[in-house]
Every structure is written in structure tokens, then in C-alpha cells.
Amino acid sequence: LVDAPDEPAARTAVMALLSDSSFTQAMPAAQLDTQVTTFVNPWFRAFAAYDPAPALRALRVPVLALLGDKDVQVVATQNAPALRAALADNRRASVVVLPGFNHMFQKATTGAIGEYARLEVTVDPVALAVMGDWLAETLKPSAASGPGR
């Protein structure tokens, strides 16, 4: 997809990948075509080719990267190690994988996108607590930044 020289070649590459996928076997042809069109548009191809590691390595601000282990869009087993490596020199960076959570930070059964709307909780309180605790710790004034310093 990323290496295809043009949109028709990218379409052919995506169709070849998806034709072998159990994900698309039960998908109606029109829906499959919509998916392929999304994957081959210039924005998506640029997005797929983008490597965030150099930008992450350059960060010198606190970073909290949260992932859900049931996320099917940003797969934690692939992305958490890459995030940890890219942020390794930033002592104020944390990468946290939340067990049982999907891309929307909801407790999920499958993590499938179609499950999002069926879950009652929008953002799980556990995820919010992780964010809040990280913020409280990160924003806590240090002794060196007290009055007169």
C-alpha cells in the first residue's frame, strides 16, 4: 500500500490483501469497495507511511500514551514496544496498556469497532483514573520549584 506508485496500484495491493482476509469474506461488495477506497486515498496512504518515532524521540515534555489491549485500531502488542523505544530518553514519558480496553477506553469483550456503540460506558472510570492520577503526579510542584526559586 505505502510503496504503491499510484492509487490504482494501491487499490490492487489492498484488494489482494483483503481477498485473503476472513475479516472481509462476509462483507458485501459495496462495503468492501468503500473500505478499499478509504485505504487508497492520498491522506490514508500518507498516514500509513508516517513514522512518528523521530517526533516522539524529540519530545521533552511529559507524555502519557494509553493503549487498550483489545484495541483493534492501534494494536497494543505492536505499538506499546515502539512507543517505549521512541520515548526511552524521556524520563517524563509513560506508556500504559489497559487490560480489557478498546480504542475508546471502554471495557470491551472483543474490541471490534462495531462494539463501541453497544457499550454503555463512554470512557471507563478506570481509564479516567489512570489519566487523572498521571496528571496529578506530573503536575505536582517539585521542591525545587517552590517559592523564591
- What pLDDT does residue 149 have? 45
* Region of residue 59 (left: phi > 0; alpha: psi -120 to 50; beta: else): beta
The three cell numbers of residue 48 are: 500509513
Q: What percent of the chain has pLDDT over 70?
A: 90
> Residue 88 pLDDT > 90, yes or no?
yes
Residue bearing the bigger pLDDT, 37 or 18: 37
pLDDT tens figures, 44-64:
889 989 999 999 999 999 999
> Residue 1 pLDDT > 90, yes or no?
no
- pLDDT category at 20 given cuts 50, 70, 90 is low
Q: CA 80: distance to chain centroid?
A: 9
Residue pair 90/60 in contact by the 8 Å Cβ criterion: yes
pLDDT tens figures, 118-130:
999 999 999 999 9
- What pLDDT does residue 114 have? 87
**pTM recorded for the entire structure:** 0.78
Characterize 121-144 residue by residue with b for buried, 16 or more Cβ atoms within 10 angstroms of its Cβ, and e for exposed. eeebeebeebeeebeeeeeeeeee
